[in-house]
Amino acid sequence: MTPREDQEPSLPQGEEKARTVRRLFDTISPRYDLVNRVMTFGMDAGWRRRTVRELALPPRSRVFDLACGTGDLCRDLAAAGHRPIGFDFSHGMLLAARTHAPLVEADILRLPVRDASADGATCGFALRNVVSLGDLFAELARALRPGGRIALLETAEPERWLLRLGHRVYFRKVVPAIGGLLSDREAYSYLPRSAAYLPSPNELLSMLREAEFTDARRLALGGGVTQLFVATRA
């Protein structure tokens, strides 16, 4: 993927990025869920439930949860009657997972699955962590059957300037402080900065359409601090 022009030059690229992300998530896995609840004031649970609803798939659908972490989305998918499978390349995250869904340690850019083997796919707050968004969307298109649905949850900045200013202060100053208190300050200093990897919403929508996902659209959640991309495999 092409980083935004304002991306911080200190952020790692390529394979160095992949190694950094894996190491940081291995480090924070024991208290990952706790920090998420604290720093989002519990709103992350509602965002994940919305992600599952926006899939709009019938019960018993096979859904791949990419970068599944500790299994939050897998649990929500199972509660909705689906059959989730989680994929993550962080061994520490999978060890800390709390879900009955099958879990696979794998790079989500190279899923160990057959073509058209899933009805849907989700991803929670991990788009900025992959080495190539283009490769990720191509892999999603390969793994999903025609008519399959995706729902991809990610951080965002509010459009209103006052909310955007407050969000930047919270995300860049308060979140690292919370992470340092409850888990690992290095990781929670990196994660806010990693939002710079994300292209603009319109660029992301264009990339999804180029990867053969029709009706791609973006939903702003939590006053604009979170965004959800949903689309259908052509």
DSSP 3-state of 210? helix
What is residue 2's predicted lDDT score, i.e. its pLDDT?
40
- State the sign of the Cα–Cα–Cα–Cα dihedral 119, 217, 112, 97: negative
Give the integer Cα–Cα distance in Å for 61 and 145.
11
Do strands 118-124 and 62-66 pair parallel, antiparallel, or not at all (unpaired)?
parallel
Give me 150's structure tokens: 């995706």
Q: pTM (2 decimals)?
A: 0.92
What is residue 58's predicted lDDT score, i.e. its pLDDT?
97
- State the sign of the Cα–Cα–Cα–Cα dihedral 109, 194, 11, 189: negative
The pLDDT tens digits for 179-221 are 999 999 999 999 889 999 999 999 999 999 999 999 999 999 9
Selected residue with higher pLDDT from 8 and 147: 147
CB 135 within 8 A of CB 163: no
| pLDDT exceeds cutoff 80 at 64 | yes
User: Considering the chain, what percentage of its residues have pLDDT values greater than 90?
Assistant: 88
> Among candidates 184, 133, 180, which has minimal Cα distance to 154?
133
Strand partners for 155: 226
The Cα angle at residue 67 between residues 51 and 123, in degrees rounded to 5: 20
What is residue 5's predicted lDDT score, i.e. its pLDDT?
38
* Domain spans, the chain: 14-233
What is residue 159's predicted lDDT score, i.e. its pLDDT?
87
The pLDDT tens digits for 78-105 are 999 999 999 999 999 999 999 999 999 9
The pLDDT tens digits for 9-47 are 579 999 999 999 999 999 999 999 999 999 999 999 999
DSSP 3-state of 65? strand
What is residue 71's predicted lDDT score, i.e. its pLDDT?
97
| pLDDT, mean over the chain | 93
Give me 225's structure tokens: 């601090």
| pLDDT exceeds cutoff 50 at 164 | yes
The average pLDDT across 108-127 equals: 98
What is residue 192's predicted lDDT score, i.e. its pLDDT?
86
Burial 52-65 (b: 16+ CB within 10 A, else e): bebbebeeebbbbb
Q: Which of 3-12, 53-62, 146-155, 218-227 has the lowest mean pLDDT?
A: 3-12
The average pLDDT across 42-64 equals: 97
Burial (Cβ within 10 Å: 0-12, 13-18, ≥19) of residue 86: buried
What is residue 4's predicted lDDT score, i.e. its pLDDT?
44
Please count the other Cβ atoms lying within 10 Å of the Cβ belonging to residue 109: 17
> Among candidates 38, 41, 98, 31, which has minimal Cα distance to 70?
98
Q: Which CATH architecture has domain 14-233?
A: 3-Layer(aba) Sandwich (3.40)
